[in-house]
Amino acid sequence: MTKEWNMKKLIAIALSSLILVGCTIQPVVNPEFDPISDNGKATLQDESKEDDSESVQIPEQLPVDNDGGIFSKNDIIYFVMTDRFYDASASSNLEDTDPTSPTKFQGGDLQGITEKLDYIASLGATAIWLTPVMTNGQDGYHGYWIHDFYSVDPHLGSMDDFKRLVDEAHNRDIKVILDYIVNHTGYDSPWINDPQKASWFHEHKDITNWSDPVLIENGWLAGLPDLDQSNPEVESYFIENAKWWISETGIDGFRLDTVRHVPKDFWRAFSAGIKEDYPDFFLLGEVWSDNARYIELYHKEGIDGNTNYSLYAGITAAFSPLSDVRTLINAIQKDTNFERPDLNGIFIDNHDNPRFVSVSKENGEAYLKQAMTLMYSYPAIPVLYYGTEIAMEGGADPDNRRMMAWDEVEGSQMLAFTKQLVELRSKYMGELTVIDYDVKHLVYTSKGPDGTMLVVLNTEKKEKTITFDYDHNTSQALLQDTPAAIISSGTWQIQMPELGIAVYKVED
Ligand SMILES: [Ca+2]
Ligand SMILES: [Ca+2]
Tell me which of 396, 428, 460 is where a domain ends.
Answer: 428
Averages of pLDDT over each 10 residues, the chain, 508 residues: 38 36 30 30 32 50 86 98 98 97 98 98 98 98 98 98 98 98 98 97 96 96 98 98 98 98 97 96 97 96 97 98 96 97 98 97 97 98 98 98 98 98 98 97 98 98 97 94 95 98 95
**H/E run at residue 113:** helix 110-115
50 CA from centroid of ligand 2 (Å): 33
Q: Are residues 336 and 321 in the same domain?
A: yes
Domain stop point among 405, 428, 451: 428
Q: Which of 420, 428, 480, 475 is nearest to 450 (CA)?
A: 428
pLDDT of residue 46: 34
| The pLDDT value given to residue 495 | 98
Where is the domain boundary, 372, 404, 428? 428
Q: Which of 47, 109, 286, 431 is catalytic?
A: 286
The Å distance, Cα 202 to ligand 2 centre, comes to 8
Q: Are residues 455 and 477 in the same domain?
A: yes
Centre of ligand 1 to C-alpha 158, Å, is 11
Q: Alpha-carbon distance 435 to 442, whole Å?
A: 8
Answer whether 363's CB lies under 8 Å from 497's CB.
no
458 with 497, same domain: the answer is yes
Vertex 97 angle, CA 91 and 100, to 5°: 130
284 and 149 housed in the same domain: yes
Instruction: For residues 84 and 35, state if they share a domain.
Output: no
Active site residue 257: yes
The yes-or-no answer on residue 339 being catalytic is: no
Peptide bond into 263 cis (omega under 30): no
Q: Where are the beta strands (DSSP E) in 97-201?
A: 127-130, 134-136, 146-152, 175-180
Predicted pLDDT at 377: 98
CATH code of residue 168: 3.20.20.80
Residue 403's pLDDT is what? 98
Q: Which ligand is nearest to the CA of 229?
A: 2
The bound ligand whose nearest atom lies closest to the alpha carbon of 83 is 1
**Do 114 and 202 have their domain in common?**
yes
Does 54 fall in a domain?
A: no
pLDDT at 36: 29
Kindly identify the ligand whose nearest atom is closest to the C-alpha of 226: 2
- Total domains in the chain come to 2
Whether residue 334 sits in one domain with residue 311: yes
Q: What's the 82 CA to ligand 1 centre distance in angstroms?
A: 10
Same domain, 265 and 148: yes
Closest ligand (CA of 84): 1
Specify the DSSP element, H or E, that contains 256. strand 253-256
Whether residues 359 and 421 share a domain: the answer is yes
The pLDDT score that the predictor gives to residue 64 is 80
Question: Which listed residue (87, 109, 257, 436) is catalytic?
Answer: 257
Q: What is the residue range of 148's domain?
A: 77-428
In whole angstroms, what separates CA 52 from the centre of its chain?
Answer: 27
181 alpha carbon to ligand 2 midpoint, in Å? Answer: 10
From ligand 1's centre to the CA of 89, what distance in Å? 4
43 in the same domain as 7: yes
The answer to whether residues 177 and 111 belong to one domain is yes
Q: What is the pLDDT of residue 62?
A: 72
